[in-house]
Amino acid sequence: AQSVTQLDSHVSVSEGTPVLLRCNYSSSYSPSLFWYVQHPNKGLQLLLKYTSAATLVKGINGFEAEFKKSETSFHLTKPSAHMSDAAEYFCAVNTGTASKLTFGTGTRL
Amino acid sequence: ETGVTQTPRHLVMGMTNKKSLKCEQHLGHNAMYWYKQSAKKPLELMFVYNFKEQTENNSVPSRFSPECPNSSHLFLHLHTLQPEDSALYLCASSHPGGGRSPLHFGNGTRLTVT
């Protein structure tokens, strides 16, 4: 079984300050992990993905995430927030061979 | 332009109506998905199609009927819906058979059942 827990439903930061959105996962096998962003009235857009290569993954718009197996975490960070980053962020995990993602409940930034 | 186009963007229907949602992808993918997004709940996978064959039905009520005539098009036929079916319905596509393949989403259809 696989699951994702996004630890904060809302995160508020000032423009220009760092962003940290937390995600913990549970899986029986080596996971693939994803972060998506959803702006109002839009679908989900892929920010970045981890698929067992480098543990520090860089994505679009200055975001990055670090896979920490010992902590079963995949937190999303950005050094300096911008107004345009205001959106809903979803962490997702897949441990199977099919593209069947399990999503977290989202964090509103 | 997301590469995955959903129509209509908004739909209001009564409980006795029949309507259809349409999804089209121009990304050359062979797997397509329907997800339901309700407020305060995680995205719920509804159906998965790989190479036009349904490979996943996540215990979805029969009032939702999917159709995948080819790898580029996906429909969701709706009939006798309930108010609790009001939600954002998202279509997605990906390369098939790979857990490492990310999903590409459309902008969704906002459905309101009255």
Per-residue model confidence as pLDDT tens digits over B63-73? 999 999 999 99
Return the pLDDT at A99.
63
Q: How confident is the model at residue A52 (pLDDT cuts 50, 70, 90)?
A: confident
* Regions of chain B short of the pLDDT cut 70: 1-2, 96-99
Of B90, B102, B106, the CB nearest to A49: B102
d(CA A33, CA B76): 28
B109 touches chain A (CB under 8 A): no
What is the average per-residue pLDDT within A1-19?
93
What is the average per-residue pLDDT within A102-106?
91
Count other C-beta atoms under 10 Å from residue B112's C-beta.
13
b vs e for B55-69, b when ≥16 Cβ sit within 10 Å of the residue's Cβ?
eeeeebeeebebebe
pLDDT at A33 over 70: yes
Return the pLDDT at B111.
96
What is the average per-residue pLDDT within A30-44?
91
Return the pLDDT at A97.
59
d(CA A71, CA A26): 10
CA B50 to chain centre: 14
Return the pLDDT at A98.
59
Between chain A and chain B, the number of residue pairs with CB atoms below 8 A apart is 72
Q: How confident is the model at residue A87 (pLDDT cuts 50, 70, 90)?
A: very high
What is the average per-residue pLDDT within A9-26?
96
Residues of A with CB under 8 A from a CB of B: 32, 34, 36, 41-46, 49, 51, 90, 94-106
B99 touches chain A (CB under 8 A): yes
The string of DSSP codes covering A53-65 is: S-SEEE-GGG-EE
| Structure tokens, B90 | 């998202």
